[in-house]
């Protein structure tokens, strides 16, 4: 039996959220771990832009959010889509847009010498404050159950927190801190962070999850 192929990189937040959705869906894919500094020719043939994740099924899907939708629209046992609202989709857009831009300007400040990294961090933190307000009294963004929004946004909140964990721990957005801490300690997260040997042609098939 052949399975859809997911090209992935363990530590990439975009690839993380694709794996989170696939794992939640219960679907099975063939996982091919990619070294970003030494990309397999087959990967570049499938997706010349060379970024992960890439899913090869009956079509080639090159955006992580689209991989999430592909998986959950086929199978969504946790009802991650059912609870989504227009405001929740807007949160994902803000995370993928202004928040991720500010995050990158903070994390890779050396690439942006014209910008003040402290200001970039403050911009990113303003989005965290919005999430914090949303999380008051609930374990997830939309209530007592996880949603697409949680899985789409959490990998980037994790990346932001890890730019300076001491700073993160010293902030007052305790609901967002608890949300991230619970996610990082969960089987949901640890199960998608298994280390794989980088894939090369001829390797045995590795199934995920």
> Per residue in 127-175, pLDDT tens?
999 999 999 999 999 999 999 999 999 999 999 999 999 999 999 999 9
Give the number of domains in the chain: 2
88: helix, strand or coil:
helix
User: Is residue 138 within a helix (H) or strand (E), and if so which, with residue range?
Assistant: none
Residue 57's CB is within 10 A of a number of other CB atoms, namely: 16
Could you tell me which residues are beta bridge partners of residue 29? Answer: 208
Are residues 99 and 178 both part of a single domain? yes
Are residues 183 and 91 both part of a single domain? yes
3-state helix vs strand vs coil in the chain, percent to 5: 50, 10, 40
Are residues 38 and 100 both part of a single domain? no
pLDDT band at 115 (very low <50, low <70, confident <90, very high): confident
Single out the residue of 179, 177, 173 nearest to residue 138, CA to CA. Answer: 179
Domain hosting 9: range is 5-79+193-208
DSSP 81: T
């Amino acid at each position: 039996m052949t399975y859809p192929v997911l090209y992935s990189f363990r530590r990439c937040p975009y690839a993380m959220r694709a794996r989170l959705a696939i794992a939640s869906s219960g679907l099975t894919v063939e996982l091919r771990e990619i070294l970003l500094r030494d990309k397999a020719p087959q990967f570049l043939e499938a997706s010349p832009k060379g970024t992960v994740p890439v899913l090869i099924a009956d079509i080639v899907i090159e955006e992580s959010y689209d991989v999430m939708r592909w998986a959950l629209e086929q199978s969504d046992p946790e009802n991650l889509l059912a609870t989504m609202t227009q405001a929740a989709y807007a949160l994902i857009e803000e995370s993928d847009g202004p928040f991720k831009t500010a995050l990158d300007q903070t994390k890779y400040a050396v690439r942006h010498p014209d910008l003040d990294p402290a200001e970039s961090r403050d911009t990113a933190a303003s989005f965290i404050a919005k999430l914090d307000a949303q999380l008051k009294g609930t374990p997830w963004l939309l209530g007592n159950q996880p949603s697409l929004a949680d899985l789409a946004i959490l990998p980037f909140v994790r990346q932001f927190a890890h730019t300076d964990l001491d700073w993160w721990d010293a902030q007052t957005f305790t609901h967002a801190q608890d949300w991230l801490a619970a996610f990082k300690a969960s089987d949901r997260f640890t199960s998608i962070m298994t280390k794989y040997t980088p894939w090369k042609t001829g390797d045995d098939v590795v199934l995920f999850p």
